[in-house]
Structure 1
Amino acid sequence: MNPMEILLQYWPRLLDGTLMTIKLTLMGALIAAAVSPMLALIRVQAPMTAQAPLRLYISFMRGTPILAQLFLIFYGSGQFRPFLQEWGLWGFFRDPFNCALLAFALNSTAYQTEILRGGILGVNRGEIEAARAIGMGRLAVLRRVVFPHAYRIAWPALGNEVILLMKASALASVVTVFDIMGRTRQIFSRSFDFSIYLWAALIYLCITAIFVLLWRLAERRLSRHIAPTQPVGKPAATFTETQA
Protein backbone atom coordinates (compact mmCIF):
# COMPACT_ATOMS: atom_id res chain seq x y z
CA MET A 1 0.00 0.00 0.00
CA ASN A 2 1.52 3.32 -1.06
CA PRO A 3 1.61 6.39 1.22
CA MET A 4 -1.33 8.11 -0.51
CA GLU A 5 -3.54 5.06 -0.07
CA ILE A 6 -2.66 4.98 3.61
CA LEU A 7 -3.63 8.65 3.95
CA LEU A 8 -6.91 8.22 2.05
CA GLN A 9 -7.88 5.20 4.10
CA TYR A 10 -7.05 6.54 7.55
CA TRP A 11 -7.50 10.32 7.23
CA PRO A 12 -10.56 10.41 9.54
CA ARG A 13 -8.47 8.94 12.37
CA LEU A 14 -5.63 11.35 11.68
CA LEU A 15 -8.08 14.26 11.64
CA ASP A 16 -9.50 13.15 14.97
CA GLY A 17 -6.00 12.98 16.44
CA THR A 18 -5.13 16.39 15.00
CA LEU A 19 -8.15 18.00 16.63
CA MET A 20 -7.25 16.37 19.95
CA THR A 21 -3.67 17.70 19.71
CA ILE A 22 -4.89 21.22 18.96
CA LYS A 23 -7.45 21.05 21.78
CA LEU A 24 -4.90 19.81 24.31
CA THR A 25 -2.30 22.41 23.30
CA LEU A 26 -4.64 25.40 23.21
CA MET A 27 -6.37 24.58 26.48
CA GLY A 28 -3.07 23.95 28.27
CA ALA A 29 -1.52 27.17 26.91
CA LEU A 30 -4.61 29.27 27.73
CA ILE A 31 -4.83 27.98 31.30
CA ALA A 32 -1.15 28.78 31.76
CA ALA A 33 -1.63 32.23 30.19
CA ALA A 34 -4.41 33.00 32.66
CA VAL A 35 -2.34 32.07 35.72
CA SER A 36 1.21 33.08 34.78
CA PRO A 37 0.83 36.93 34.94
CA MET A 38 -0.03 36.82 38.64
CA LEU A 39 2.78 34.36 39.35
CA ALA A 40 5.23 36.49 37.36
CA LEU A 41 4.37 39.50 39.51
CA ILE A 42 5.04 37.42 42.62
CA ARG A 43 8.42 36.43 41.19
CA VAL A 44 9.28 40.08 40.55
CA GLN A 45 7.85 41.90 43.56
CA ALA A 46 7.27 39.48 46.45
CA PRO A 47 9.85 38.96 49.22
CA MET A 48 12.18 35.98 48.79
CA THR A 49 10.48 34.06 51.58
CA ALA A 50 7.10 34.39 49.85
CA GLN A 51 8.66 33.35 46.55
CA ALA A 52 10.14 30.13 47.92
CA PRO A 53 7.18 27.78 47.18
CA LEU A 54 6.77 29.27 43.70
CA ARG A 55 10.48 28.98 42.94
CA LEU A 56 10.41 25.35 44.06
CA TYR A 57 7.43 24.62 41.80
CA ILE A 58 9.05 26.31 38.81
CA SER A 59 12.37 24.54 39.38
CA PHE A 60 10.62 21.16 39.61
CA MET A 61 8.55 21.69 36.46
CA ARG A 62 11.46 23.02 34.42
CA GLY A 63 13.97 20.51 35.76
CA THR A 64 12.03 17.26 35.28
CA PRO A 65 10.77 15.62 32.07
CA ILE A 66 7.15 16.31 31.21
CA LEU A 67 6.70 12.56 30.73
CA ALA A 68 7.57 12.01 34.39
CA GLN A 69 5.13 14.74 35.39
CA LEU A 70 2.42 13.11 33.29
CA PHE A 71 3.02 9.73 34.93
CA LEU A 72 3.05 11.28 38.41
CA ILE A 73 -0.37 12.85 37.83
CA PHE A 74 -2.03 10.00 35.90
CA TYR A 75 -0.68 6.97 37.79
CA GLY A 76 0.15 8.72 41.05
CA SER A 77 -3.38 10.00 41.56
CA GLY A 78 -4.54 6.39 41.90
CA GLN A 79 -2.53 6.13 45.11
CA PHE A 80 -4.74 8.83 46.63
CA ARG A 81 -8.05 7.53 45.33
CA PRO A 82 -9.84 7.42 48.75
CA PHE A 83 -8.82 11.00 49.47
CA LEU A 84 -9.81 12.18 45.98
CA GLN A 85 -13.15 10.39 46.21
CA GLU A 86 -13.80 12.03 49.56
CA TRP A 87 -13.22 15.45 48.03
CA GLY A 88 -15.15 14.62 44.85
CA LEU A 89 -12.08 14.89 42.62
CA TRP A 90 -11.71 11.27 41.52
CA GLY A 91 -14.00 11.81 38.53
CA PHE A 92 -11.51 14.38 37.25
CA PHE A 93 -8.32 12.39 37.81
CA ARG A 94 -9.60 9.11 36.38
CA ASP A 95 -10.02 10.76 32.96
CA PRO A 96 -6.75 10.51 30.96
CA PHE A 97 -7.47 13.74 29.05
CA ASN A 98 -7.90 15.70 32.29
CA CYS A 99 -4.63 14.34 33.67
CA ALA A 100 -2.77 15.17 30.45
CA LEU A 101 -4.27 18.66 30.36
CA LEU A 102 -3.32 19.26 33.99
CA ALA A 103 0.25 18.11 33.38
CA PHE A 104 0.70 20.30 30.32
CA ALA A 105 -0.95 23.32 31.96
CA LEU A 106 1.27 23.05 35.06
CA ASN A 107 4.38 22.64 32.92
CA SER A 108 3.54 25.54 30.62
CA THR A 109 2.64 27.76 33.58
CA ALA A 110 6.15 27.37 34.97
CA TYR A 111 7.76 28.34 31.66
CA GLN A 112 5.36 31.18 30.89
CA THR A 113 5.85 32.60 34.38
CA GLU A 114 9.61 32.84 33.90
CA ILE A 115 9.22 34.25 30.39
CA LEU A 116 6.84 36.95 31.63
CA ARG A 117 9.13 37.69 34.58
CA GLY A 118 11.86 38.51 32.08
CA GLY A 119 9.43 40.66 30.11
CA ILE A 120 8.38 42.63 33.21
CA LEU A 121 12.01 43.19 34.20
CA GLY A 122 12.65 44.46 30.67
CA VAL A 123 10.07 47.26 30.92
CA ASN A 124 11.69 50.70 31.00
CA ARG A 125 11.62 51.95 34.57
CA GLY A 126 11.16 55.51 33.36
CA GLU A 127 7.82 54.65 31.77
CA ILE A 128 6.54 53.26 35.07
CA GLU A 129 7.68 56.37 36.93
CA ALA A 130 6.04 58.59 34.30
CA ALA A 131 2.74 56.72 34.66
CA ARG A 132 2.84 57.17 38.43
CA ALA A 133 3.71 60.86 38.00
CA ILE A 134 0.49 61.54 36.09
CA GLY A 135 -1.57 59.92 38.82
CA MET A 136 -2.07 56.33 37.66
CA GLY A 137 -2.81 53.82 40.38
CA ARG A 138 -0.99 50.54 40.83
CA LEU A 139 -3.51 48.48 38.85
CA ALA A 140 -3.66 51.05 36.06
CA VAL A 141 0.12 51.03 35.75
CA LEU A 142 0.13 47.25 35.49
CA ARG A 143 -2.72 47.18 32.98
CA ARG A 144 -1.69 50.06 30.75
CA VAL A 145 2.11 50.16 31.03
CA VAL A 146 3.78 47.10 32.53
CA PHE A 147 1.93 44.17 31.00
CA PRO A 148 1.52 45.61 27.46
CA HIS A 149 5.27 46.21 27.26
CA ALA A 150 6.13 42.94 29.01
CA TYR A 151 4.04 40.92 26.58
CA ARG A 152 5.57 42.70 23.61
CA ILE A 153 9.05 41.83 24.90
CA ALA A 154 8.12 38.24 25.79
CA TRP A 155 5.91 37.52 22.76
CA PRO A 156 8.48 35.56 20.64
CA ALA A 157 9.51 33.42 23.61
CA LEU A 158 5.87 32.74 24.49
CA GLY A 159 5.29 31.56 20.93
CA ASN A 160 8.21 29.16 21.21
CA GLU A 161 6.77 27.81 24.44
CA VAL A 162 3.40 27.07 22.81
CA ILE A 163 5.16 25.27 19.93
CA LEU A 164 7.16 23.17 22.39
CA LEU A 165 3.97 22.39 24.28
CA MET A 166 2.30 21.26 21.06
CA LYS A 167 5.17 18.89 20.27
CA ALA A 168 5.24 17.63 23.85
CA SER A 169 1.54 16.78 23.55
CA ALA A 170 2.64 13.71 21.58
CA LEU A 171 3.47 12.19 24.99
CA ALA A 172 -0.22 12.18 25.88
CA SER A 173 -0.63 8.99 23.85
CA VAL A 174 1.21 7.03 26.56
CA VAL A 175 -1.78 7.59 28.87
CA THR A 176 -4.31 6.61 26.17
CA VAL A 177 -5.14 10.13 24.98
CA PHE A 178 -5.45 9.60 21.24
CA ASP A 179 -3.79 12.65 19.76
CA ILE A 180 -1.89 12.57 16.46
CA MET A 181 0.73 10.15 17.75
CA GLY A 182 -1.87 7.99 19.49
CA ARG A 183 -3.86 7.60 16.28
CA THR A 184 -0.68 7.06 14.29
CA ARG A 185 0.39 4.19 16.51
CA GLN A 186 -3.08 2.66 16.20
CA ILE A 187 -2.90 2.85 12.40
CA PHE A 188 0.61 1.41 12.32
CA SER A 189 -0.44 -1.53 14.49
CA ARG A 190 -3.02 -2.42 11.81
CA SER A 191 -1.23 -1.52 8.59
CA PHE A 192 2.46 -1.99 9.53
CA ASP A 193 3.17 0.78 7.03
CA PHE A 194 5.89 3.06 8.33
CA SER A 195 4.83 5.90 6.03
CA ILE A 196 2.03 6.78 8.44
CA TYR A 197 4.67 8.29 10.74
CA LEU A 198 5.77 10.51 7.85
CA TRP A 199 2.21 11.79 7.50
CA ALA A 200 2.08 12.44 11.25
CA ALA A 201 5.31 14.45 11.03
CA LEU A 202 3.89 16.48 8.14
CA ILE A 203 0.74 17.25 10.12
CA TYR A 204 2.84 18.53 13.04
CA LEU A 205 4.87 20.61 10.58
CA CYS A 206 1.72 22.15 9.05
CA ILE A 207 0.24 23.00 12.45
CA THR A 208 3.50 24.62 13.52
CA ALA A 209 3.82 26.62 10.28
CA ILE A 210 0.26 27.97 10.57
CA PHE A 211 0.78 28.83 14.24
CA VAL A 212 4.06 30.67 13.52
CA LEU A 213 2.37 32.70 10.78
CA LEU A 214 -0.51 33.73 13.04
CA TRP A 215 1.84 34.48 15.93
CA ARG A 216 4.01 36.75 13.77
CA LEU A 217 0.94 38.62 12.55
CA ALA A 218 -0.07 39.17 16.17
CA GLU A 219 3.47 40.31 16.98
CA ARG A 220 3.37 42.90 14.20
CA ARG A 221 0.06 44.18 15.52
CA LEU A 222 1.47 44.49 19.02
CA SER A 223 4.46 46.44 17.67
CA ARG A 224 2.62 48.58 15.11
CA HIS A 225 3.11 51.75 17.19
CA ILE A 226 6.91 51.36 17.23
CA ALA A 227 8.72 53.41 14.62
CA PRO A 228 10.84 51.35 12.20
CA THR A 229 14.61 51.48 12.55
CA GLN A 230 16.22 54.29 10.53
CA PRO A 231 18.11 52.81 7.53
CA VAL A 232 21.89 53.10 7.71
CA GLY A 233 23.24 56.01 5.67
CA LYS A 234 19.89 57.82 5.41
CA PRO A 235 19.76 61.00 7.50
CA ALA A 236 16.73 61.59 9.68
CA ALA A 237 14.33 64.32 8.61
CA THR A 238 14.96 67.65 10.30
CA PHE A 239 12.28 69.67 12.02
CA THR A 240 12.14 72.20 9.15
CA GLU A 241 11.75 69.38 6.60
CA THR A 242 8.82 67.94 8.51
CA GLN A 243 7.15 71.34 8.60
CA ALA A 244 7.55 71.96 4.85
Structure 2
Amino acid sequence: MDLPFIVDCLRRMLAGVPLTLQLAAISLLCGALLGLLIAFARLSGNRLVAAFGWIYVQVIRSTPLLVLLFLMYYGPGQFPAIRHSVLWPFLREPYYCALLALMINSSGYAAEIIRGGLLSVPHNEIEAARACGMSGVLLYRRIILPIAIRQALPAFSNEVIAMIKATSLVSLVTLMEITGIATDIASESYRPIPVFIAAGAIYLLINFVLTRIIRAIEHGLTPHLRPPPVNIILKESPYDHN
Protein backbone atom coordinates (compact mmCIF):
# COMPACT_ATOMS: atom_id res chain seq x y z
CA MET A 1 0.00 0.00 0.00
CA ASP A 2 1.39 3.38 -1.06
CA LEU A 3 1.02 5.42 2.13
CA PRO A 4 2.22 8.75 0.64
CA PHE A 5 -0.34 8.38 -2.16
CA ILE A 6 -3.15 7.75 0.36
CA VAL A 7 -2.08 10.77 2.40
CA ASP A 8 -2.15 12.90 -0.75
CA CYS A 9 -5.63 11.56 -1.55
CA LEU A 10 -6.81 12.44 1.94
CA ARG A 11 -5.44 15.95 1.58
CA ARG A 12 -7.23 16.48 -1.73
CA MET A 13 -10.52 14.95 -0.59
CA LEU A 14 -10.65 17.08 2.55
CA ALA A 15 -11.58 19.95 0.23
CA GLY A 16 -14.92 18.20 -0.33
CA VAL A 17 -15.77 17.82 3.36
CA PRO A 18 -17.38 21.30 3.74
CA LEU A 19 -19.76 20.62 0.85
CA THR A 20 -20.65 17.19 2.27
CA LEU A 21 -21.39 18.63 5.71
CA GLN A 22 -23.29 21.57 4.26
CA LEU A 23 -25.55 19.38 2.15
CA ALA A 24 -26.18 16.99 5.04
CA ALA A 25 -26.86 19.73 7.61
CA ILE A 26 -29.28 21.74 5.46
CA SER A 27 -31.06 18.60 4.24
CA LEU A 28 -31.48 17.25 7.76
CA LEU A 29 -32.73 20.57 9.13
CA CYS A 30 -35.21 21.25 6.33
CA GLY A 31 -36.18 17.58 6.19
CA ALA A 32 -36.90 17.58 9.93
CA LEU A 33 -39.09 20.69 9.64
CA LEU A 34 -41.01 19.23 6.71
CA GLY A 35 -41.14 15.87 8.49
CA LEU A 36 -42.66 17.57 11.54
CA LEU A 37 -45.51 18.90 9.39
CA ILE A 38 -46.02 15.48 7.81
CA ALA A 39 -46.01 13.85 11.25
CA PHE A 40 -48.71 16.26 12.43
CA ALA A 41 -50.66 15.45 9.26
CA ARG A 42 -50.42 11.73 9.97
CA LEU A 43 -51.69 12.27 13.51
CA SER A 44 -54.45 14.61 12.38
CA GLY A 45 -58.04 13.78 13.17
CA ASN A 46 -58.95 14.76 9.62
CA ARG A 47 -58.96 11.57 7.57
CA LEU A 48 -58.01 13.32 4.32
CA VAL A 49 -55.04 15.08 5.93
CA ALA A 50 -53.94 11.84 7.63
CA ALA A 51 -54.27 9.97 4.32
CA PHE A 52 -52.13 12.60 2.57
CA GLY A 53 -49.42 12.21 5.24
CA TRP A 54 -49.50 8.42 4.93
CA ILE A 55 -49.26 8.51 1.13
CA TYR A 56 -46.40 11.03 1.25
CA VAL A 57 -44.38 8.86 3.64
CA GLN A 58 -45.02 5.69 1.65
CA VAL A 59 -44.05 7.29 -1.67
CA ILE A 60 -40.89 8.99 -0.40
CA ARG A 61 -39.66 6.00 1.58
CA SER A 62 -40.32 3.68 -1.36
CA THR A 63 -38.49 5.84 -3.91
CA PRO A 64 -34.71 5.30 -4.14
CA LEU A 65 -32.74 8.45 -3.44
CA LEU A 66 -30.88 8.07 -6.74
CA VAL A 67 -34.17 8.08 -8.66
CA LEU A 68 -35.33 11.14 -6.73
CA LEU A 69 -32.01 12.87 -7.41
CA PHE A 70 -32.25 12.26 -11.15
CA LEU A 71 -35.88 13.44 -11.18
CA MET A 72 -34.87 16.71 -9.51
CA TYR A 73 -31.82 17.17 -11.76
CA TYR A 74 -33.22 16.15 -15.16
CA GLY A 75 -36.96 16.56 -14.65
CA PRO A 76 -37.73 20.30 -14.23
CA GLY A 77 -35.98 21.26 -17.46
CA GLN A 78 -38.51 19.19 -19.42
CA PHE A 79 -41.33 21.65 -18.64
CA PRO A 80 -41.37 25.06 -20.36
CA ALA A 81 -43.49 26.51 -17.55
CA ILE A 82 -40.72 25.78 -15.04
CA ARG A 83 -37.96 27.04 -17.36
CA HIS A 84 -39.76 30.40 -17.60
CA SER A 85 -40.62 30.65 -13.91
CA VAL A 86 -38.79 32.24 -11.00
CA LEU A 87 -37.80 28.75 -9.84
CA TRP A 88 -35.60 28.04 -12.85
CA PRO A 89 -32.49 29.95 -11.62
CA PHE A 90 -32.46 27.53 -8.69
CA LEU A 91 -33.63 24.30 -10.34
CA ARG A 92 -31.04 24.57 -13.10
CA GLU A 93 -28.23 24.46 -10.52
CA PRO A 94 -26.99 20.98 -9.50
CA TYR A 95 -26.49 22.15 -5.92
CA TYR A 96 -30.13 23.10 -5.37
CA CYS A 97 -31.42 20.02 -7.20
CA ALA A 98 -29.31 17.78 -4.98
CA LEU A 99 -30.32 19.70 -1.87
CA LEU A 100 -34.01 19.40 -2.76
CA ALA A 101 -33.73 15.66 -3.40
CA LEU A 102 -31.87 15.04 -0.14
CA MET A 103 -34.33 17.17 1.83
CA ILE A 104 -37.40 15.39 0.42
CA ASN A 105 -35.83 12.00 1.01
CA SER A 106 -34.95 12.90 4.60
CA SER A 107 -38.42 14.28 5.33
CA GLY A 108 -40.08 10.91 4.69
CA TYR A 109 -37.93 9.19 7.30
CA ALA A 110 -37.95 12.14 9.71
CA ALA A 111 -41.76 12.18 9.65
CA GLU A 112 -41.93 8.62 10.96
CA ILE A 113 -39.22 9.25 13.54
CA ILE A 114 -40.99 12.35 14.83
CA ARG A 115 -44.39 10.63 14.77
CA GLY A 116 -42.96 7.83 16.90
CA GLY A 117 -41.56 10.40 19.31
CA LEU A 118 -44.91 12.20 19.57
CA LEU A 119 -46.76 8.94 20.20
CA SER A 120 -44.28 8.02 22.94
CA VAL A 121 -45.12 11.07 25.06
CA PRO A 122 -46.80 9.72 28.23
CA HIS A 123 -50.47 10.58 28.38
CA ASN A 124 -50.27 11.45 32.07
CA GLU A 125 -47.68 14.15 31.27
CA ILE A 126 -50.13 15.76 28.86
CA GLU A 127 -53.00 15.51 31.34
CA ALA A 128 -50.86 17.05 34.09
CA ALA A 129 -49.93 19.96 31.80
CA ARG A 130 -53.57 20.52 30.90
CA ALA A 131 -54.46 20.48 34.58
CA CYS A 132 -51.94 23.30 35.05
CA GLY A 133 -53.72 25.34 32.37
CA MET A 134 -51.48 24.57 29.38
CA SER A 135 -53.04 24.06 25.99
CA GLY A 136 -52.37 24.54 22.28
CA VAL A 137 -48.96 25.90 21.31
CA LEU A 138 -47.79 26.26 24.91
CA LEU A 139 -48.51 22.60 25.61
CA TYR A 140 -46.53 21.52 22.56
CA ARG A 141 -43.66 23.91 23.23
CA ARG A 142 -43.21 23.16 26.94
CA ILE A 143 -44.21 19.49 27.23
CA ILE A 144 -44.92 17.47 24.09
CA LEU A 145 -42.13 18.55 21.73
CA PRO A 146 -39.27 18.44 24.28
CA ILE A 147 -40.24 14.90 25.34
CA ALA A 148 -40.81 13.80 21.72
CA ILE A 149 -37.42 15.15 20.63
CA ARG A 150 -35.71 13.38 23.50
CA GLN A 151 -37.43 10.12 22.60
CA ALA A 152 -36.75 10.47 18.86
CA LEU A 153 -33.09 11.50 19.13
CA PRO A 154 -31.59 7.96 19.14
CA ALA A 155 -33.51 7.03 15.99
CA PHE A 156 -32.70 10.36 14.36
CA SER A 157 -28.99 9.72 14.89
CA ASN A 158 -29.32 6.86 12.39
CA GLU A 159 -30.84 9.29 9.89
CA VAL A 160 -27.87 11.65 10.39
CA ILE A 161 -25.41 8.86 9.56
CA ALA A 162 -27.50 7.75 6.59
CA MET A 163 -27.62 11.31 5.24
CA ILE A 164 -23.85 11.73 5.46
CA LYS A 165 -23.47 8.60 3.37
CA ALA A 166 -26.28 9.62 1.01
CA THR A 167 -24.45 12.80 0.04
CA SER A 168 -22.01 10.61 -1.90
CA LEU A 169 -24.68 10.27 -4.60
CA VAL A 170 -24.57 13.97 -5.49
CA SER A 171 -21.29 13.34 -7.30
CA LEU A 172 -23.47 11.86 -10.07
CA VAL A 173 -24.89 15.33 -10.75
CA THR A 174 -21.43 16.95 -11.02
CA LEU A 175 -21.04 18.14 -7.41
CA MET A 176 -17.49 17.72 -6.17
CA GLU A 177 -17.91 16.52 -2.61
CA ILE A 178 -15.78 13.75 -1.09
CA THR A 179 -16.88 10.98 -3.46
CA GLY A 180 -16.77 13.28 -6.50
CA ILE A 181 -13.16 14.20 -5.78
CA ALA A 182 -12.31 10.55 -5.08
CA THR A 183 -13.79 9.52 -8.43
CA ASP A 184 -11.67 12.10 -10.24
CA ILE A 185 -8.51 10.97 -8.46
CA ALA A 186 -9.25 7.32 -9.24
CA SER A 187 -9.82 8.09 -12.93
CA GLU A 188 -6.55 10.04 -13.08
CA SER A 189 -4.38 7.53 -11.23
CA TYR A 190 -6.08 4.23 -12.17
CA ARG A 191 -5.70 3.24 -8.51
CA PRO A 192 -9.28 3.07 -7.19
CA ILE A 193 -8.63 0.84 -4.16
CA PRO A 194 -6.38 3.20 -2.13
CA VAL A 195 -8.42 6.20 -3.25
CA PHE A 196 -11.74 4.84 -2.01
CA ILE A 197 -10.14 3.44 1.13
CA ALA A 198 -9.09 7.01 1.91
CA ALA A 199 -12.62 8.26 1.11
CA GLY A 200 -14.10 5.61 3.40
CA ALA A 201 -11.76 6.69 6.18
CA ILE A 202 -13.02 10.28 5.91
CA TYR A 203 -16.66 9.17 6.07
CA LEU A 204 -15.82 6.95 9.04
CA LEU A 205 -14.21 9.85 10.89
CA ILE A 206 -17.12 12.21 10.16
CA ASN A 207 -19.72 9.71 11.34
CA PHE A 208 -17.70 8.84 14.44
CA VAL A 209 -17.52 12.50 15.48
CA LEU A 210 -21.23 13.05 14.78
CA THR A 211 -22.29 10.00 16.78
CA ARG A 212 -20.19 11.22 19.72
CA ILE A 213 -21.87 14.64 19.52
CA ILE A 214 -25.36 13.12 19.34
CA ARG A 215 -24.58 10.83 22.26
CA ALA A 216 -23.42 13.83 24.29
CA ILE A 217 -26.66 15.66 23.47
CA GLU A 218 -28.70 12.60 24.41
CA HIS A 219 -26.73 12.32 27.66
CA GLY A 220 -27.51 15.94 28.47
CA LEU A 221 -31.24 15.52 27.74
CA THR A 222 -31.70 12.47 29.97
CA PRO A 223 -30.30 13.34 33.42
CA HIS A 224 -33.23 11.55 35.05
CA LEU A 225 -32.13 8.23 33.53
CA ARG A 226 -28.62 8.36 34.95
CA PRO A 227 -27.84 6.81 38.36
CA PRO A 228 -26.65 9.21 41.04
CA PRO A 229 -22.87 9.54 41.44
CA VAL A 230 -21.42 6.91 43.74
CA ASN A 231 -19.27 9.47 45.53
CA ILE A 232 -22.22 11.30 47.05
CA ILE A 233 -21.74 11.38 50.83
CA LEU A 234 -25.01 11.19 52.69
CA LYS A 235 -25.09 13.42 55.71
CA GLU A 236 -25.78 11.60 58.90
CA SER A 237 -29.07 12.58 60.45
CA PRO A 238 -29.00 13.45 64.17
CA TYR A 239 -32.12 11.33 64.59
CA ASP A 240 -30.16 8.21 63.59
CA HIS A 241 -28.51 8.10 67.03
CA ASN A 242 -30.19 6.11 69.74
8 Å contact kept, 1:3–1:196: no
Q: Contact 1:7 / 1:196 at 8 angstroms: preserved in 2? A: no
- 1:180 equivalenced with 2:178 (yes/no): yes
Question: Residues 81-139 of structure 1, C-alpha deviation per residue, up to 9 Å, x if partnerless?
Answer: x2113321111111111101000001111111110101101110111011111111211
CA contact (8 A) 1:69 1:103 kept: yes
Q: Which amino acid aligns with 1:176?
A: T
Give the match's secondary structure for 2:43: helix
Which of 131, 149, 152 aligns to 2:150? It is 152
Name the SS for the 1:123 alignment partner.
coil
TM-score (normalised: structure 1): 0.89
Aligned to 1:233: none
User: Which residue matches 2:81?
Assistant: 83
Give the partner amino acid of 2:2.
N
Q: Which of 166, 169, 183 is 1:168 aligned to?
A: 166
Which string of whole-angstrom CA distances, capped at 9 and with x for unpartnered residues, describes residues 200-221 of structure 1?
Answer: 0000000000000000000011
The worse-fitting range, judged by mean Cα deviation, of 138-147 and 33-42 is 33-42
**CA offset at residue 6 of structure 1?**
4.1
| 1:170-207: CA deviation from partner (whole Å, max 9, x where unpaired) | 11111111111100000111111220110000000000
Secondary structure at 2:176 match in 1: coil
Q: CA deviation at 1:58?
A: 1.2
Query: CA offset at residue 229 of structure 1?
Result: 5.6
Decide which of 116, 119, 136 is 2:134's aligned counterpart.
Answer: 136
**In the TM superposition, what whole-angstrom CA distance separates every residue of 1:147-185 from its partner, at most 9, and x where no partner exists?**
111111110101101110111111111111111110000
Q: Paired residue for 2:72?
A: 73
When the two structures are aligned, how many residues end up with a matched partner? 231
Whole-angstrom CA distance in 1 between matches of 2:184 and 2:202: 16
User: Which secondary structure does the structure 2 equivalent of 1:45 belong to?
Assistant: coil
Letter of the structure 2 residue corresponding to residue 171 of structure 1: L
How far apart in 2 are the matches of 1:172 and 1:150? Answer: 32
Whole-Å separation in 1 of the counterparts to 2:35 and 2:71:
22
Residue matched to 2:61: 62
Q: What 5-or-longer segments of structure 2 have no aligned partner?
A: 229-235
TM-score, normalising length from structure 2?
A: 0.89
State which drifts further: 69-78 or 203-212. 69-78
Question: Could you tell me how far 1:227 is from its partner in structure 2?
Answer: 4.1
Structure 1 runs (4+) deviating above 6 angstroms are none
Task: Give the RMSD, CA atoms, in angstroms.
Answer: 1.9
Could you say which residue in structure 2 is the equivalent of 1:5?
A: 5
5+ residue gaps in structure 1? 231-239
SS in 1 for 2:179: helix
Q: Give, in angstroms, the shift of residue 11 of structure 1.
A: 4.3
Equivalent position amino acid for 2:5 in 1? E
Deviation of 1:21 (Å): 0.9
Residue 39 of structure 1 deviates from its aligned partner by 2.3
How far apart, in 2, do the equivalents of 1:227 and 1:162 lie? Answer: 24
In the alignment, residue 196 of structure 1 is paired with which amino acid?
V
**1:1-244 alignment runs, 5 A limit:** 2-8=2-8, 10-80=9-79, 82-194=80-192, 195-224=194-223, 226-228=224-226
Measured at CA, do residues 78 and 85 of structure 1 come closer, stay the same or move farther in structure 2, by a change above 3 Å? closer
